[in-house]
Amino acid sequence: MVRPLVKKYVLGALLSCVLGGAVVTPSIAADDREVIWVTAKEKSMLMAEMRAFLHASQKILESNLSGDMQAVEEAARLVGVSLFKDTPEAIQEKLPITFTMIGPRAYMGFESIVDEAVGRGDMKVIFSHLAQLQKNCVACHALFRFEVKED
């Protein structure tokens, strides 16, 4: 019983380091990331959401470089808080606390980009928000993996 609790504290400490700017070196050895057990359908949904994050990030980079704040806003809005609200409760209940600490930061990170794009539209600020957002992605991928477990 103590082991899972200790693991969560260690993961939490690692998460703090990653989000604080420390570098996590990927391991070539065994994949020792925490497993989150989901159904095949849930995994597909989660992976699609992550691909949407990646697609939106690329679109934000491209649009920000060209100064197209409307396109920046549109790309970020698609994966902001409205997407978070669409996550089924059955999936949310399976997620460990350390994962739920990261998830909302991603959605809110995109919302901060929306706010900047419709506000001043400062390219440097948008790049800064996106850089911070990517730290969340890196932290999550360094700590967790989804595995299918059919009910």
Residue type, 108: M
Tell me the pLDDT tens digit for each residue of 43-98: 999 999 999 999 999 999 999 999 999 999 999 999 998 887 778 888 889 999 98
29 within a domain of the structure (yes/no): no
143 within a domain of the structure (yes/no): yes
138 within a domain of the structure (yes/no): yes
Give pLDDT, residue 125. 98
* Separation of alpha carbons 66 and 57, rounded Å: 14
Give pLDDT, residue 6. 44
Give pLDDT, residue 12. 52
Tell me the pLDDT tens digit for each residue of 100-145: 888 888 999 999 999 999 999 999 999 999 999 999 999 999 999 9
Token pair listed for 54: 């990646």
Span 4-31, average pLDDT: 54
Domain total of the chain: 1
pLDDT higher than threshold 90 for residue 30: no
* Separation of alpha carbons 89 and 104, rounded Å: 14
* Separation of alpha carbons 45 and 51, rounded Å: 10
Which structural domain range is residue 68 located in? 2-20+38-148
6 within a domain of the structure (yes/no): yes
Kindly report whether the global pTM for this prediction surpasses the value 0.85.
Answer: no
28 within a domain of the structure (yes/no): no
26 within a domain of the structure (yes/no): no
137 within a domain of the structure (yes/no): yes
99 within a domain of the structure (yes/no): yes
Q: What is the CATH number of the domain that holds 123?
A: 1.20.120
